[in-house]
């Protein structure tokens, strides 16, 4: 993890790097070259034409270094300057700078139309809260071309006009498709409204010292974290040892949801996934998911079915390391009865012995590890004092703002206005891990920590993506990953899978099952990276 930093912390880190012997030119060179690498990668290694909008300060300097690095790799570089007419101050050799083509304001539209990539390097963390009119005009020109031609816009460090602390956005700012952040993550980029302007976020290391991890600061979930949290298997293990997951859900009209959850649990590595669903759902699900096993439950309409369903789960619960409860359960009265019975008391047979004629039932607390999603959260919101009653369980709640508003008994608007505080309050009040799915999804824990997803992806606004997330988290918990880390890893993997799926199906075309298809590749990149290296 790495703290999301405020501007003053970034300036302090820069000063520390300079005091440690780096020069400003070193940092700018590292930043510009890193940005160029990200652009090349996004362009699939093909050289083209880049238009750099360069401002007067170090952000503009970084942009010119990036242009120089791209030029060395065969790119043609067009530069539009704001209060800048040359590459003065940027560490670029004169021969390279001589080949830059400087663009007059009236030629900007044509230059933008001829560009394969446009880089916003006008202002960075030294930006003010309004943009100058010339910059607003230039951005409007570029935005029109971006709409017409889908030309990708890359923001350098921050989209110009975004306040890197508060996330406020100046009138006329240019939305980017990718923001390459230099050195340390800026907290404002992860907040609304800035998050609507950043696109995909990439963080490049330029050797700035990161501030110490603190509980108060929101922390970014990084690739290194997730790699370290992933379960490790012994060669002589077997399917029950590497994670057994029970997914409880499904109603006659919702058999897609538990199916997605179970598939995600299996794809994230749980050795055995069992679906506890009404009997009539088994045939349609089994055809699509041959790997899962089933615990057939009685149909919901039959009187008293809820209590019987709960008893069947209790009889099996010790065979599973984690549960996911909720996907597609519905909200009718047998469901309430079922969840009351499942979570309130755990009845165990006592006094069974040879010749014993009576079977007493004893109430026990629900102690299992479980992800509670969707209709299980709606049920929970109707209960009183549940945080105390479920104190011995290890729960991960995965609400969207509407579900969290019911759980906290507050307005959705309040949650959306300050999602991080709402998630923290919920985790503290409930004593459980809370995953709030809004913007950059966050994982809040009762100990006060807040882990923030590296991406906020509009492609994930599609039915069933929440079921997939619940399945990934449950699947990781079943493999022994602690609940907070399982939640954060699930959130991270969901984002990576979405980015991979978007390469194939795009933002609008993405549906939840695309995430499951892409998940093995996202996992392989983290877990089996060594095979990639051996092979290539």
Ligand X SMILES: NC(=O)C1=CN([C@@H]2O[C@H](COP(=O)(O)OP(=O)(O)OC[C@H]3O[C@@H](n4cnc5c(N)ncnc54)[C@H](O)[C@@H]3O)[C@@H](O)[C@H]2O)[C@@H](O)CC1
- The 1-20 contact track toward ligand X, x by CB under 6 A, reads -------------x------
Contacts of 216 (CB under 8 A, 6+ apart): 448
Among 40, 157, 165, 485, interactor with ligand X by CB under 6 A: 157
Q: Does 179 bind ligand X (CB under 6 A)?
A: no
| Distance, CA of 134 to CA of 85 (rounded, Å) | 15
Residue partners of 411: CB distance under 8 A and separation at least 6: 405
Shortest gap between Cβ of 448 and K ion (angstroms)? Answer: 33
Binding test (CB under 6 A) with ligand X, winner from 3, 5, 6, 28: 28
Cβ distance to ligand X smaller for residue 38 or 337: 38
Stretch that binds ligand X, among 119-127, 188-196, 284-292, 389-397 (CB under 6 A): 119-127
Evaluate the omega torsion of the peptide bond into residue 204 and state whether it is cis, within 30 degrees of 0. Answer: no
Other C-beta atoms closer than 10 Å to the C-beta of 47 total 14
Q: Is residue 464 a contact residue for ligand X (CB under 6 A)?
A: no
Q: Is 62 annotated among the ligand-binding residues?
A: yes
User: Residue 156 or residue 422: which is nearer to K ion going by CB?
Assistant: 156
The one of ligand X, K ion, none whose footprint includes residue 494, by CB under 5 to 8 A per kind, is none
Q: Which of 158, 155, 163 is nearest to 185 (CA)?
A: 158
Flag whether 59 is marked binding: yes
Q: Report the distance separating Cα 276 and Cα 288, nearest Å.
A: 16
* Residue 126 binds ligand X, judged by CB under 6 A: yes
Considering CB distances under 5 to 8 angstroms, the limit depending on partner class, which of ligand X, K ion, none binds residue 165?
none
Say whether residue 156 binds K ion (CB under 5 A): yes
What is the C-alpha R_g of the chain? 26
Could you say which of ligand X, K ion, none residue 252 binds, taking C-beta under 5 to 8 angstroms by partner kind? none
Considering only the stretches 117-125, 251-259, 303-311, 452-460, report the one whose residues sit in contact with ligand X under the rule CB under 6 A. Answer: 117-125
Residue 340 annotated as binding site: no
Query: Cα 85 from chain centroid?
Result: 40
When binding is defined by CB under 6 A, the residue of 62, 373, 403, 514 that contacts ligand X is 62
What b/e readout covers 349-360, taking b as 16+ CB neighbours within 10 angstroms? eeeeeeeeeeee
Contacts of 347 (CB under 8 A, 6+ apart): 311, 314, 361, 362, 363, 364
160 near K ion, rule: CB under 5 A: yes
Residue 38 contacts K ion per CB under 5 A = no
Residue 171 or 236 with smaller CB distance to ligand X: 171
Q: Quick check: 127 binds ligand X (CB under 6 A)? A: yes
Nearest CA among 377, 401, 371 for reference residue 471: 371
**Six token digits for residue 225:** 């974290």
- From residue 384, how far is each of 275, 406, 414, 425 by CA, in Å? 29, 12, 22, 17
Residues that bind ligand X (CB under 6 A): 14, 24, 27-28, 31, 55-60, 62, 123-128, 130-132, 156-157, 182-183
Q: Which residues are annotated as a binding site for AMP?
A: 437-441, 466
Q: Which residues are annotated as a binding site for (6S)-NADPHX?
A: 58-62, 124-130, 157, 257, 328, 400, 467
Q: Which residues are annotated as a binding site for K(+)?
A: 59, 120, 160
């Amino acid at each position: 993890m790495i703290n999301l930093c405020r501007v003053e912390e970034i300036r302090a880190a820069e000063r520390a790097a300079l005091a440690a012997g780096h020069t400003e030119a070193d940092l700018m060179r590292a930043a510009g070259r890193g940005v160029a690498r990200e652009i090349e990668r996004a362009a699939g290694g093909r050289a083209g034409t880049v238009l750099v909008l360069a401002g007067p300060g170090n952000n503009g300097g970084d942009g010119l270094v990036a242009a120089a690095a791209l030029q060395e790799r065969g790119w043609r570089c067009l530069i539009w300057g704001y209060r800048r007419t040359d590459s003065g101050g940027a560490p670029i050799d004169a021969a390279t700078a001589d080949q830059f083509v400087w663009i007059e304001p009236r030629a900007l539209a044509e230059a933008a139309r001829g560009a394969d990539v446009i880089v916003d390097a006008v202002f960075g963390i030294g930006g003010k809260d309004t943009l100058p009119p010339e910059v607003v005009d230039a951005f409007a020109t570029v935005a029109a071309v971006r709409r017409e031609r889908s030309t990708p816009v890359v923001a350098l460090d921050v989209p110009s006009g975004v306040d890197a602390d508060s996330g406020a956005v100046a009138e006329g700012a240019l939305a980017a498709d990718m923001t390459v952040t230099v050195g340390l993550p800026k907290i404002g980029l992860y907040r609304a409204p800035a998050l609507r302007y950043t696109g995909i976020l990439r963080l490049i290391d330029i050797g700035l010292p990161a501030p110490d991890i603190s509980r108060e600061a929101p922390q970014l979930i990084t690739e290194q974290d997730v790699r370290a949290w992933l379960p490790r298997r012994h060669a002589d293990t077997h399917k029950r040892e590497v994670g057994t997951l029970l997914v409880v859900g499904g109603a006659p009209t919702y058999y897609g949801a538990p199916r997605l959850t179970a598939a995600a649990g299996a794809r994230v590595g749980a050795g055995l996934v069992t679906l506890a669903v009404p009997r009539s759902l088994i045939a349609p699900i089994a055809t699509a998911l041959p790997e899962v096993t089933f615990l057939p439950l009685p149909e919901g309409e039959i009187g008293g079915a809820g209590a019987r369903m709960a008893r069947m789960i209790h009889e099996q619960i010790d065979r599973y390391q984690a549960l996911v409860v909720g996907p597609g359960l519905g909200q009718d009265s047998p469901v309430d009865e079922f969840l009351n019975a499942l979570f309130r008391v755990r009845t165990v047979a006592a006094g069974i012995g040879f010749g014993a004629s009576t079977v007493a039932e004893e109430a026990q607390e629900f102690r299992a590890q479980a992800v509670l999603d969707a209709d299980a959260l709606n049920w929970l919101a109707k209960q009183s004092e549940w945080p105390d009653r479920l104190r011995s369980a290890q729960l991960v709640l995965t609400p969207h703002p509407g579900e969290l508003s019911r759980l906290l008994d507050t307005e959705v608007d309040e949650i959306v206005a300050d999602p991080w505080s709402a998630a923290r309050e919920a985790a503290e009040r409930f004593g459980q891990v809370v995953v709030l799915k809004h913007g950059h999804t966050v994982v809040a824990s009762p100990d006060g920590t807040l882990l923030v997803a590296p991406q906020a992806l509009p492609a994930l606004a599609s039915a069933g993506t929440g079921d997939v997330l619940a399945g990934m988290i449950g699947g990781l918990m079943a493999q022994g990953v602690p609940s907070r880390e399982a939640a954060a890893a699930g959130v991270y993997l969901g984002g990576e899978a979405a980015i991979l799926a978007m390469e194939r199906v795009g933002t609008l075309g993405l549906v939840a099952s695309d995430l499951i298809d892409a998940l093995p590749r996202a996992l392989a990149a983290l877990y089996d990276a060594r095979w990639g290296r051996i092979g290539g």
